[in-house]
Chains A and B, each alone.
Chain A
Amino acid sequence: MQSLSQKEPTQLTDEQIEAFGAEMDAIRRRVVSQLGEEDAAYIRAVVDAQRKLEIAGRAMLMVGVFPPAWLGGVAALALSKIIDNMEIGHNVMHGQYDWMGDNALNSRDFEWDIVSSAELWKRSHNFQHHTYTNIVGKDRDIGYLMLRITPEQRWNPYYLGNPVYAVLLSFFFQWGVMLHDLEADQLVTGEKSWDEVSDDGKKMAGKALRQVAKDYVLFPALSGPFFLFTLTGNASANMIRNLWAFAIIFCGHFPEEVQTFTEEEAANESRGQWYRRQLLGSGNITGSALFHLMSGNLSHQIEHHLFPDLPARRYQAIAVEVREACERYGLPYNTGGLTKQLGSVFRQLVTLAMPWSAGPSQPREERSALESVKAA
């Protein structure tokens, strides 16, 4: 990631930015008016595929003593968890299917097959990340508070371990997300009281306990003498989901060309400016239809950030229009294959670990001092 001031891609006038925003609003209105039977049938078909994979995976892992059953079980359960978390969970919790009025697909009621509780995840993701996208100091998704992923984060010796932390986080991603959503770090800064964190902690613990009871106690126990095969199978499925989710999510915001913003840059922004920040702060991954499904359509991270509550199956078609608009306005549209984007993320994780790597482009105090001089 780089700061906006490091590389200002285009100099659009305010009028041009608002015109771009009006075009995005028009796309949004049109898609909302088209929502209907096809979208409902699609998400129900995805749910159906997910639950069949889950049942198949759990059944095969009951007899995981046979190696083909174990491998098949891990594959099916991992796919089930990936689809549950990404194409169903993430998207349903964004309110993409609230218009259907189905309690099983409603953002207020949905809970997902991962340790982080839906309620706390929605707060940190839907609100903080999607409102303050890529604003350093406000978007807690930047490096998940564990990694240095933009030069705007000041280097300190802790970051020498940057690549190692990233690898650890990728393997235990669901627990990393849970700790991140708990916002325990805000105790130190005084933004949250002990009582608030402890209330949230209880909710998280309740959720995590049930996940652990299901995957590591009950289902293994049901397998009787083969419990160890079920337990290792469930652990493997969870880990595969962790690695996949980590890869997709890090490619969405952290490749080198994706930009970060300062609080000043994002203060009092208009609707057009908000759209522009969402665009510049996200990157897409190219791939097949199956790849888009497995990524929860977060491979269309740009379209998701422009229209977080439109059903994700619509992003592929919308992307054509967004990209065309970007070309007309001379706005960058960051996209690339999975290996390119992931390579870019890891290059940065390594580079930014080094003490001699670039620091914040301009300290905030200096900048505001400069602006007040200008204003004077």
Chain B
Amino acid sequence: MPAATVGAGRPRGLLASLTTPLLDVLTYPHGPDRYLEMLDPAWSTRQVRAEITDVCHRAPGTVTVLARPNRVWRGFSAGQHVQLSVDIEGARRSRCYSIVTSEQDRSGRLEFTVHAEPDGLVSNHLQQLRPGTVVGLSQAQGPFTLPSPRPEHVVLISGGSGITPVMSIARTLRDEDRGGSVTLLHYARTAADVAYREELDELAASGVRVLRSYTREGSGELSGHFCAEHLAGITDAPAWVSGPATLVEGVREHWSTAGLEAELTVEHFTPPAPAPIPDDGAPTGEVSFGDRAVSNSGAPLLEQAEVAGLELPYGCRRGICFSCTQRKTSGTVRYRTSGALSTEPDSDIQLCVTVPIGDVTIDL
């Protein structure tokens, strides 16, 4: 993995290694964070938190922010994403956002651009983000990264809001100034929709081959949606594609026809939360408990886990005691007790009284 730079964790000093265990006992059972955050809400010894320092709106329905992570942040590779969390009406909501920053950036700040999704709870909330707000971050994650040493020729293809990880990679390659060539294909409805259109011009001026297609305006260096002709002259370069499923599948088809699927790295930009599915028919989908998956029988999750041979903790089996609570990472479940739906990713649910609707993943 390339060296990570932004706010990379510094080695622990002697003082810290002596005081940390003492601090842990003195602040037991709540831990030092509970008291540190009284001084600064971004301080923590365990969680990555970041203060929003700059906010701007470069295109309609988008917000671009700079966030300064605390010392728990371990750095990132170009193209990776984080789970960013904010409290909305008292409840913490997390969504994945790609880091747009160059690996070579030394400002100690991370850039994110969030496109408002129709009905997107978090993406719309983030449009009103103000400087000074503290958000939660996960460590950087995801395999959408460049190998080291860098390939000589690199093809980057993005559609719509999928431009963000591609910008991180393009900026990094520019800053590394390593020679070789970069071709960047970007698809958007109109030029005004592209938050990074000026920077794309700058990249083009600095020697990156930038090819754009504005599908609704019919303008740009290319025309229409992705097709093999858009890659004229490129036959065997490794490629990174990021965007909606139709674009990703189109590119994948082209690369596999060429027998070069191994050279392709993809990042799907999927809608944040699955829409609730009406629960009127037979049970559908697959339920995953850690690495074990069973097809949904329509019974409460605890029973399905037990049928799958798992021994999970439980108590009352009727929704009172919370002994069987586990983290649902994705999918929709219905509470038998109240009929309420839980659609949010990464939420804690009581397995004994929730029934899966479609695919559900439980993290054990």
A positions within 8 Å CB-CB of B: 25, 28-29, 32-33, 35-41, 47-48, 51-52, 55, 94-95, 98-104, 106-108, 111-113, 122-123, 126-128, 130-131, 207, 210-211, 213-214, 218-219, 308-309
Contacts and interface: CB of A to CB of B under 8 A. Distances in A.
Interface of B: 22, 25-26, 28-30, 33-35, 38, 47, 85, 87, 89-94, 315-316, 318, 320-323, 325, 338-340, 346-348, 350
A131 B35 CA distance: 36
A340 to B, nearest CB: 29
A101 B94 CA distance: 10
Contact of B91 (A47, A52, A101, A207): A101
Contacts of B322: 94-95, 98, 107-108, 122, 126, 309
Contacts of B91: 36, 40, 99-101
Given A28-B338, A126-B323, A104 B348 contact: no
B318 A219 contact: no
B36 to A, nearest CB: 11
16 contacts: A32-B340, A36-B91, A40-B89, A40-B91, A95-B350, A101-B348, A108-B322, A122-B322, A123-B323, A126-B321, A126-B323, A127-B316, A131-B316, A131-B320, A309-B320, A309-B322
A100 B350 CA distance: 15
B25 A214 contact: yes
Contacts of B85: 101
Nearest to A39: B90
A76 to B, nearest CB: 15
A104 B315 contact: no
A37 B320 contact: no
A159 B26 CA distance: 41
A210 B29 contact: yes
B320 A29 contact: no
Contacts of A113: 29-30
A285 to B, nearest CB: 23
A214 B325 CA distance: 31
Nearest to A104: B34
Given A104-B34, A131-B320, A218 B26 contact: yes
A104 B323 CA distance: 18
Contacts of A127: 315-316, 320-321, 323
A100 B90 contact: yes
A158 B279 CA distance: 58
B323 A214 contact: no
A237 B338 CA distance: 42
Contacts of B338: 25, 28-29, 32
A165 to B, nearest CB: 28
B315 A211 contact: no
Contacts of A33: 340
A101 B346 contact: yes
B38 to A, nearest CB: 7
B26 A219 contact: yes
A123 B28 CA distance: 22
Given A28-B338, A108-B325, A123 B348 contact: no
Contact of A211 (B28, B30, B89, B320): B28
A101 B89 contact: no
B92 A112 contact: no
Contacts of A108: 322, 325, 348
Nearest to A107: B322
Given A102-B92, A106-B348, A126-B315, 9 more contacts: A40-B87, A40-B90, A52-B38, A100-B91, A107-B348, A122-B321, A127-B316, A130-B316, A308-B320
Contacts of B89: 36-37, 40
A95 B28 contact: no
A90 to B, nearest CB: 13
Contacts of B315: 123, 126-128, 131
A34 B103 CA distance: 44
Contacts of B34: 47, 51, 104
Nearest to A28: B338
B5 to A, nearest CB: 28
A32 B341 CA distance: 12
B73 to A, nearest CB: 17
Given A36-B90, A210-B29, A126 B35 contact: no
Contacts of A36: 89-91
A98 B325 CA distance: 10
The 6 A-B pairs at the shortest CB distance, nearest first, are namely A40-B90, A127-B315, A101-B92, A111-B29, A126-B321, A95-B322
Contacts of B93: 101
A126 B320 contact: yes
Contact of A41 (B35, B90, B92, B94): B90
A123 B90 CA distance: 28
A104 B33 contact: yes
Given A101-B346, A213-B25, A51 B35 contact: yes
A210 B318 CA distance: 34
A345 to B, nearest CB: 25
A369 B6 CA distance: 77
A62 to B, nearest CB: 12
B263 to A, nearest CB: 40
A280 B322 CA distance: 23
Contacts of A28: 338
Contacts of B350: 95
A100 B38 contact: no
A130 B25 contact: no
Contacts of A52: 38
Given A40-B87, A94-B322, A55 B35 contact: yes
A202 B110 CA distance: 44
A51 B38 CA distance: 9
Contacts of B90: 35-41, 99-100
B325 A111 contact: no
B29 A112 contact: yes
Contacts of A29: 338-340
